[in-house]
A and B are shown apart, each in its own frame.
Chain A
Amino acid sequence: MWSWVLHRITGVAIFFFLLVHILDTALVRVSPEAYNAVIGTYQTPIMGLGEVALVGAIVFHAFNGLRIILIDFWSKGTKYQKVMFYVVIALWVITMLGFTPRHLINVFSH
């Protein structure tokens, strides 16, 4: 249940990020200055924290996506779905422990 709820929420969040991301990247074709101006506004600590949330969402969605593929295609997948969910959480924690400190040091040392 919760794996599904989280998968939905992170999926929708990533969708909206991609939407904005395509729009701001498309600005390059409008004018490079406009693109630089918009990208410049992303270089703030708040956006830095937002990036942590974004990476967290993507990492969860990716690992849980692999878990769902295993549930659908591996004959023992449904039996081990709970274990696999804990593995997803563990992998997520490990990835975020590796990523977050380095990223925040970068963000705040500018």
Chain B
Amino acid sequence: MSTAVIDEAAPAPTPEVIESFTVTVIIRRFDPEVDEQPKWVDYDVEMFATDRILDALHKIKWEQDGSLTFRRSCAHGICGSDAMRINGRNRLACKTLIKDLDISKPIYVEAIKGLPLEKDLIVDMDPFFESFREVQPFLIPSSKPGAGKERIQSVADRARFDDTTKCILCAACTSSCPIFWTDGQYFGPAAIVNAHRFIFDSRDDAAKVRLDILNDQEGVWRCRTTFNCTDACPRGIQVTQAIAEVKQAIMRGKP
């Protein structure tokens, strides 16, 4: 083919060398069958600036130590399964680029705090989802739409709770909250965010019920406006703002 001839004639393109770095990752490992206490273990991995912490974890698991345990599924910031504490801040491993971290120092990776540690980077998420379920995070309408009709909502009404629809239930917010660390009974920001999503939905009629649930000693009043949750949320949700709006709705007695 003619194109092949042209290819041969052209000088071989010098392969562009992409710079790679040796990055030290220190992971807080814990195997409940062997260890009494979690321990920090170092790994050196060869990484590109555009790689993510999740890629580093994969490399370690696939090439160095197959026993490293962590959750991940989508690898693209959608499923919310790989929230972890990276250099002391809660983030998604799949959304944290190597180039955004200071690689002249080791990178510390550990499980999120405040939930029971099960193994390595995995915590027991049951208490977290338990609080989520308690706020009744589903549509509770009191009337049926007309036959063959949908529930109509204006653009403005939809925009009212748009921010809190973005939650992926990764638990980065709840496990960054110092109140939650010391009081595991607190509903936590994620549950309040998901309550907010329905409380301010014009199609929903059970706002009163949810406001009642959150007007508990362990509800929204536990929030001390630390703003850790807002800083941690990988979806950029204004979490503390949502909590403040729920507080105000409780005081008003309606959304």
Footprint of B on A, CB under 8 Å? 1, 4, 68, 71-73, 75, 77-79, 81
Give the CA-CA distance A78 to B225 in the complex, in Å: 9
- With a cutoff of 8 Å between Cβ atoms, the chain A residues found around residue B240 in the complex are 71, 78, 81
Interface members, chain B 110-165 (any A CB < 8 Å): none
B224 interface residue, CB < 8 Å from A? Answer: yes
The main secondary structure of chain A at its interface with chain B is helix
Contact A72 B241 (CB under 8 A): no
Q: With A4-B178, A71-B244, A72-B247 as given contacts, are A78 and B238 in contact (CB-CB < 8 Å)?
A: yes
Give the CA-CA distance A103 to B244 in the complex, in Å: 40
- With a cutoff of 8 Å between Cβ atoms, the chain B residues found around residue A4 in the complex are 178, 224-227
Q: With A4-B178, A72-B247 as given contacts, are A79 and B241 in contact (CB-CB < 8 Å)?
A: yes
B228 interface residue, CB < 8 Å from A? Answer: yes
6 closest A-B pairs by beta carbon, nearest first, are: A78-B241, A4-B226, A71-B225, A78-B240, A78-B244, A1-B228
- With a cutoff of 8 Å between Cβ atoms, the chain B residues found around residue A71 in the complex are 225, 240, 244
Give the CA-CA distance A110 to B109 in the complex, in Å: 57
Given contacts A4-B224, A75-B248, 7 further A-B contacts (CB under 8 A): A4-B226, A4-B227, A72-B247, A77-B244, A78-B240, A78-B241, A79-B238
Contact B226 A72 (CB under 8 A): no
Q: Which residue of B lies closest to A8 (CB)?
A: B224
Give the CA-CA distance A41 to B238 in the complex, in Å: 51
| 30 A-B residue pairings within 8 Å (CB atoms) | A1-B226, A1-B228, A1-B231, A4-B178, A4-B224, A4-B225, A4-B226, A4-B227, A68-B225, A71-B225, A71-B240, A71-B244, A72-B225, A72-B244, A72-B247, A72-B248, A73-B248, A75-B248, A77-B244, A78-B225, A78-B230, A78-B238, A78-B240, A78-B241, A78-B244, A79-B238, A79-B241, A81-B225, A81-B227, A81-B240
A75 to chain B, nearest CB (A): 8
Task: Output the residue of A4, A68, A72, A78 with the most chain B CB within 10 A.
Answer: A78
Give the CA-CA distance A68 to B225 in the complex, in Å: 7
B23 to chain A, nearest CB (A): 27
